């Protein structure tokens, strides 16, 4: 199982890098494509809209098997990246990032469902934390690599390289997860698209998880889509410098994922989510006052992304057990809500930044995070069956 988690994590690094590199290099893409910055942030928002398709693909993954859906996701990524690299037009880039988003939308809940089905709940924080290392790795390694490719070979190079890596990922994944790892036919037959979603809608904690995902993601993208522009304008950073400064954010995310893997199971998933979310919304609020120097600004960004990652990865570990019979459906709903939140955040982020600068950005993100905090504290408890053991849990 360890090897499967490792290969799946590598594939997610490729997917996450493809999904994320438009954020810090939005000014570069706007210049090269000859469009306004708001056009790029809108493109990012369209990319995030792909999360809505998870509402369909979650039940499909529960029915047809996780291996097939993961390979399909990587194939979509390869097609999109190659299209963007060979046809450098705004409309094609839009489609390329849409396909990359579709690949991530299919892959993420599917791989989490696969891992959750094979790892006991008492070790779920560790397992999901390890899988989520792919998010920080995309920032620590993927974004700096993209920066180097753009600087040395031009802005189209990352598309072609990521397309090739996605094909390699397909090969590795098809080897380590054989066909007979799929669910047995009797379970597949029991999965029904509408019954899965009816079950989710009936569960108040599941709806609370969806609301939480929406608001915490909207708050983060409100900042994420403009932090590159903020650093460029305030400190006159070059493309390479922005790419390298993004590595600090990756280190913060790595730290958050490590905290989840190391401590969330020990201290309790509920308590960990509450603490991390509280620190996150405070961090947004104080960020505008840390922009006097570059080290202070980077420190503020570091703490924001650490606490955000700590909160959301731990919440994933918790929510994988809300609907044990429909794990991919539950997590696709979670990611769909997160995607909708990122759409809202990306759409408003550019305008909030243009209207009030980093002060407005920080205050809006803090306020939206507070909404996610309120939502999780209005939810009731739920019962969890994990590997044959019935446990009473009070989430929020």
- Give 221's Cβ-side CA count (13 Å radius): 27
pTM here is 0.70
Strands (E), the chain: 382-386, 389-393
Distance CA 104, CA 325 (A): 22
Pairwise pLDDT comparison (6 vs 41), residue with the higher score = 6
Which of 393, 371, 385, 391 is CA-nearest to residue 208?
371
Q: Tell me the per-residue pLDDT of 228-267, one tens digit each, with 9 for 90 and over.
A: 788 878 787 776 677 667 678 778 888 888 888 787 778 8
The angle formed by the CA atoms of residues 372, 309 and 359, to the nearest 5 degrees, is 65
Q: Is residue 396 pLDDT above 50, yes or no? A: no
Q: Is 36 exposed, middle or buried (0-12, 13-18, 19+ CB in 10 A)?
A: exposed
Report, as an integer, the average pLDDT of 92-116.
85
CATH topology of domain 2-393: Growth Hormone; Chain: A; (1.20.1250)
Calculate the average pLDDT of the chain: 80
* pLDDT band per the 50, 70, 90 thresholds, residue 186: very low
Provide the CA 390 distance to its chain's centre, in angstroms.
Answer: 30
Helices (H) and strands (E) in the chain, counts: 19, 2
Q: Is residue 370 pLDDT above 50, yes or no? A: yes
In this structure, the number of other CB atoms found within 10 A of the CB of residue 163 comes to 23
Domain boundaries, the chain: 2-393
| Dihedral sign computed on CA atoms, order 119, 8, 130, 77 | negative
Is 219 within 8 Å of 372 (Cβ atoms)?
yes
Tokens standing for residue 237: 């950073």
| Dihedral sign computed on CA atoms, order 78, 80, 83, 86 | negative
Q: Is residue 381 pLDDT above 60, yes or no? A: no
Q: What is the rounded end-to-end Cα distance, in angstroms, of the chain?
A: 31
Pairwise pLDDT comparison (323 vs 209), residue with the higher score = 209
Which of 307, 309, 253 is CA-nearest to residue 282?
307
């Amino acid at each position: 199982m360890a090897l499967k988690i490792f290969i799946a994590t590598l594939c997610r690094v490729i997917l996450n890098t493809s999904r994320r590199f438009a954020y810090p290099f939005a000014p570069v893409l706007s210049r090269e494509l000859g469009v306004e910055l708001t056009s790029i942030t809108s493109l990012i928002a369209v990319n995030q809209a792909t999360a809505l398709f998870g509402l369909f693909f979650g039940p499909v993954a529960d029915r047809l098997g996780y291996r097939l859906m993961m390979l399909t996701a990587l194939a979509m990524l390869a097609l999109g990246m190659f299209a963007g690299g060979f046809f450098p037009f705004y409309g094609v880039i839009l489609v390329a990032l849409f396909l990359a988003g579709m690949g991530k939308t299919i892959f993420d809940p599917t791989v989490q469902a696969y891992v959750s089905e094979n790892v006991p709940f008492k070790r779920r924080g560790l397992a999901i934390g390890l899988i989520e290392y792919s998010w920080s790795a995309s920032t620590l390694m993927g974004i700096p690599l993209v920066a180097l490719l753009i600087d040395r070979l031009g802005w189209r190079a990352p598309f072609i390289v990521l397309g090739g890596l996605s094909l390699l990922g397909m090969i590795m994944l098809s080897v380590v997860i054989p066909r007979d790892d799929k669910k047995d036919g009797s379970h597949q037959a029991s999965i029904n698209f509408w019954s899965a979603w009816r079950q989710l809608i009936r569960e108040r904690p599941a709806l609370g998880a969806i609301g939480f995902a929406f608001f915490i993601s909207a708050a983060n993208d409100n900042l994420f889509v403009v932090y590159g522009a903020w650093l460029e304008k305030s400190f006159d950073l070059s493309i390479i410098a922005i790419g390298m400064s993004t590595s600090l954010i990756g280190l913060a995310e790595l730290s958050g994922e490590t905290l989840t893997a190391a401590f969330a199971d020990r201290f309790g998933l509920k308590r960990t989510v509450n603490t991390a979310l509280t620190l996150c919304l405070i961090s947004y609020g104080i960020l505008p006052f840390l922009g006097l120097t570059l080290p202070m600004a980077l420190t503020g960004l570091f703490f924001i992304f650490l606490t955000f990652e700590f909160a959301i990865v731990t919440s994933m570990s918790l929510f994988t057990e809300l609907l044990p019979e429909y794990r991919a459906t539950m997590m696709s709903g979670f990611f769909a809500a997160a995607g909708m939140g990122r759409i809202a955040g990306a759409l408003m982020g550019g305008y909030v930044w243009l209207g009030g600068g980093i002060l407005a950005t920080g205050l809006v993100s803090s306020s939206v995070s507070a909404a996610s905090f309120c939502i999780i504290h209005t939810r009731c408890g739920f019962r969890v069956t994990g590997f044959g053991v019935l446990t009473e849990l009070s989430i929020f």
